[in-house]
Structure 1
């Protein structure tokens, strides 16, 4: 018993199988998987080669006024300060960091914070530790 498609005939089945043969069998069967009209043309002799992304800090999405290391270190600090600890003072922040099993360098940094100041955000804590936050863009 021959199995066929009830929506079209054998001629259309053959045509459709040829259209997808590159996808099914791979590129080694004589056909390319890429439509020739979609392949970008190479740059001309007087044109520079294209790049996908600029090098340096521009690739990391670093905010203006901070380096990628600053962003990583501030993020690391923020991982050990619970949202429930903010707003909070020095003692609350230290307790939160210890509760979250912060490494010794994080706890030591929080212990350097001045007493009697309440911090609203991790960025405020970061600035109080002597680091720079991103600059505001107008």
Structure 2
């Protein structure tokens, strides 16, 4: 017994599979979803390449009131203080950071936090360490 499509002829099945090949296989396998005439042409030899920063200044998602270095440093702090430690005081934050194998400089910074204060978020810990958080726009 031969198995095959009972609804279409083999020629129609082949034609239908060609029509959806770009959707099934994606653009990297020769079946691009984009028509050839819509693809961007590369820059010429005497032209600059395409850039996401046409004015030369790369615009990032840095919030107002912080530098990209501040954002990266706060993110680094947040990687070693998990949500299970928050809300928490100085000792809970230090213990959690050590459990997560935080670098010595982060543990030393947490040890400088004042005692008796409970922190709700990593941003509050960051501010208590003497850094600035983003400013809100009203």
The verdict on a shared fold, with TM-score over 0.5 as the criterion, is yes
- Does 2:80 correspond to 1:80? yes
User: Could you tell me whether the CA contact under 8 Å between 2:88 and 2:120 is conserved in 1?
Assistant: yes
Work out the number of aligned pairs and report it. 123
Larger Rg: 1 or 2? 1
CA distance in 2, matches of 1:117, 1:111: 13
RMSD: 3.9
- Does 2:97 correspond to 1:97? yes
Please, which runs of 5 or more residues in structure 1 have no aligned partner? 1-15, 17-32, 43-48
Q: Against the structure 1 CA distance between its residues 88 and 119, is the aligned structure 2 distance closer, same or farther, given a 3 Å change threshold? A: same
User: Could you tell me whether the CA contact under 8 Å between 2:52 and 2:58 is conserved in 1?
Assistant: no
Superposed CA offset, 1:48-71 (max 9, x none): x79441244513x21121111111
- Does 2:64 correspond to 1:58? no
Corresponding residue for residue 114 of structure 1: 114
CA distance in 2, matches of 1:66, 1:72: 10
SS in 2 for 1:116: coil
**1:1-138 superposed matches below 5 A:** 37-39=37-39, 51-54=50-53, 55-56=56-57, 58-59=59-60, 61-138=61-138
Shift of 1:35: 5.1
Q: Against the structure 1 CA distance between its residues 50 and 115, is the aligned structure 2 distance closer, same or farther, given a 3 Å change threshold? A: same
Please, which runs of 5 or more residues in structure 2 have no aligned partner? 1-14, 16-31, 43-47
CA distance in 2, matches of 1:89, 1:106: 15
User: How high is the TM-score relative to the length of structure 1?
Assistant: 0.64
User: How high is the TM-score relative to the length of structure 2?
Assistant: 0.64
Shift of 1:36: 5.9
